[in-house]
Structure formats: structure tokens, C-alpha cells
Structure 1
Amino acid sequence: MTYENILSNFSNGITTITVNRPSKLNALNKVTIEELHHAFKEANSHKETKVIILTGYGEKAFVAGADISEFANFSVENGGKLAANGQELLFNFIENLDTPVIAAVNGFALGGGLELAMSAHFRIASDNAKMGLPETSLGVIPGYGGTQRLPQLIGKGRAMELVMTAGMIDAATALNYGLVNHVVSLEELLPLAEKIAGKIMRNSSVAISKAIKAVNANFIDGVSGYEVEIEQFGACFGTADFKEGTTAFLEKRKADFKGH
């Protein structure tokens, strides 16, 4: 598929998806959200893809927010539909993918951009990154999961302050808060993402997909994460990867996982 606002490239087990609207600081609009959904769905179904890296084109922005011009005149009903559709199509979709997703945050990640980064399984950032949820300065609140994922990641008090002040934090503060796992120079950002992806790819992709389900279950109302962990742990015993992993360990050799 040919994309208008994103790039998707596969190499050595990694699919890199890049938001490519530099003239708009990579802001999310309806078309971009739909293209991202398609690209993530395609990468997740691509058997050779073991890790997905998500980033923004250029040096200034990961994603600087949503395209406000698209919804400035929306009604209450349309606003609710915008949030519901976006969460289902992209943000929740990414969070629940079987394939690990690393967000490589380069520059501004604001509003929907930070929400997009938070939907990834974890984040790394360049030292010029700036992150925040400025929605209250526009008379609205984060609608793509920001009020839920940010407190999960950095705690209620810090999240409340960021949302209420509509402020930004720098990469060092994001690292201190636990919002990102690593901070490096812009030049080192994608190489680090690829290095971490390489470490992930040494392990069983089928086990990783089950781990994602178990970890995410802890944040679903009415679901016992412990019960999901038990279920997914047991399911691992029926996989070829489990047999290969344990056999390789006992034979003192490197496992050759096939992902099933």
C-alpha cells in the first residue's frame, strides 16, 4: 500500500513506521490515523516482523499533536465519536498488538503525539524531546487514552499536574518520571531502538506476545491479571518455542525460536 502521511520499512526483523508530515510537525489527522492502523496491522501480521519501531520524520517532532483544524467545530456527539474511534482504531490497537512496539520519541510529543507514544509497549527518547498533554489550554481534555495511560506510567499526582497545567517536560524529566526508559542523542535514538529490538528478537516471539497480554490485563477493569498470567503461562507449555527453549538450555546451546 502507498501511504500519504507515513513511511513503513522492513529490515532484519524490524518494521520501522515513521509519521511523515514534517510541514505539520507530524500532527495526527484522520488520514494519518487510518494509515497508521493499516501499517501496524500489516506489520503485526508479517511473520518476519519481530519488533515494530514507531518514530516521527525529521528532528523537530515525533508527533506534535492532533490536527485541531479537523475537529474545532465538532459537536458533543462528534467529539465523543472522535475519541472512541481513535482509541479503537489506533491507540488501544497498538497497545494490544502481539508484536512489541518501541516508540522512539524525537522532538515534540504533545497531546495525541504523547498519547501515541504511550500506547507503545515502552518508549525511548532523544535528548531534545519535549512531552506534554496541552489539551486543557484548548478547553478540552486528552481523548486518546492520555488521562488513563499517563497516571499508569508516572503516577496520579504527576499526571494531574501535567494535565492541569498543560505543561511540557523535557527528556531528562520524562526519564526521571519513568515515562521513557532511555535518553540518548538524536543520532543515537534509532540505533538504540534497533539494539533493544535485537535483544528482544533473541527471545521467543510467541512468549513475548503472551507476556504482553498478561501485563496489559492488570490494567483492565474486572480482569484479574494474575489469572491471565496463569492462563498465558500454561499456554506456553503447548508451544514449539517452549520445547526449543528448554531443550536448548539443557543442551547448553543457543535457542532457535520459530515463533510458534
Structure 2
Amino acid sequence: SMELDEARIITSIKSYHELSKAVENRAKILSDNNFLNMSTLLISDKRPRVVSRMTSVMLTLTEREEDAALLKEAKAFRAAIGNASEHVFPPALIHNLLTLASRIQVSEGNKRKESRPVRRFVHHKSMQCSFIVSPLNEDIRMNIEKKCVTTKGVISVSVDNEKNIVQLRVTPTVSSQTVVNTLFDCGAEKVERLVKNEHGNEERWEMSREEISVPLLPTYIEEMDASKEGASVVPSGHIKSNGGWLSSITSMFW
């Protein structure tokens, strides 16, 4: 059955994970074509548990910068990470996929200057907040992009104009009310926060401009990933020398 197959796959991946933790020469594993082909296949799987387990293995194997650099030319594997990060997976898994992708993106192998110490990657937790904003015309969208990215703790902003959805990647210290107040300051008349409760069901918490003084909205571990695409805006403080959204994510994770 499919469940049994998944269980067997998970068991195998767990074994790989234990191996990856124990082996000092991780470059040997990452240079093995058979391992890379298997990793690409599993990262391309649509089952969250499978992808999550395999992503954890790869995060362990790429803790050292020179090891992560070995995957720079693994085009099929990197494409699989990109495709998976656009899938409707739990935010924590998306976070780890983006961590892996950006870790590979900014890594330097033998070209690294000898005077520069070896980097060891460590990623910090963040959360995704999704809001439906009404109205969301061009002026309000521009205001949101300008004001939200300068709000302390806001890492990036993504806007889906068709669905009127604003997505923010924020640090755990940012309160929902702070974000909601900022959205109202930008001209919104009504804001709905999309969340998943502890049972995995979608909930909407609606506020109007007249209700700004109400208590803080609830915070959930899992945030609703309601927007598939959107133009992303990142604060200038997060932009690395290479430029671009992917490389700028590094300041969030490491």
C-alpha cells in the first residue's frame, strides 16, 4: 500500500540521516551520483513527511560551507528544491527548503579566500503570516511594501494582487497586531488573517479599521500558505553582495 511504501521510505531516510551525522567526510556522500539522484527523487515527492525527512538529511550534510558548494552544479537537485518550495507544504518545511537552497546559492568551495574562516551554517526560526487586505489597489500595495519592510522583525513581503493576499515572513517576536496596525496605516479598511488551527483547519480572523484597539489576534504554529506566487520585496538590510531575493534570504537563516 501507499502508506506502507511511505513508511519504508521514511525508515530508509532515517538510516541515511544517522549515516550523515556519523560520517566526517560528507563530501564523499554529496559527490555520489546515485545518492544525488535518489535525493532529487525524494525531494520531488509530494508527501510532506518524505520531503521533510530528506530535507533534514541534506541540511545535515551541508552544514559546512565547502560541502554545500559541492551541490552548486547539481542542477536537477537544485531545480527539485525550487519546485518543492513552491508546493503547498507546511511553512516549517518551506522554511527548511529555502534554507537549503540559499545555503547552496551563497556557498563557496575551494575558491574561498584562505584568510576567511570556514562558515558553518545555522538557521533561525521564522514564521509566515497571510492576510487578505481590502481594498488592495496599487497605491495601498506600494504603501504596504514600503512600510512593512521597514517594520522591525519583518523579513520580506509578498503580494498576490489577484487574491488580495499579503504574505509576510517575520521573526517570532513580531506580534500579529503590529502587522495588522501597519496594514491599516497603509490604507486598508478590512484585514482578514488566514491561519491553520491545531487541527489543521483553516480559520479567518477579520478586523476592520474601527476595531484596531481589540486584543492581539491568536498565534498558531502553522500559518496558512495561501499565496502561490507574488512579487517579493526584501529590506535593503537583508540584501547580500550578490543581490537578488534568494541570496538575501541568507541574513534571515544564518
Q: Does the TM-score normalized on the shorter chain lie above 0.5?
A: no
Larger Rg: 2
Normalised by the length of structure 2, the TM-score is 0.29
Structure with bigger RCO (C-alpha 8 Å, 6+ apart): 2
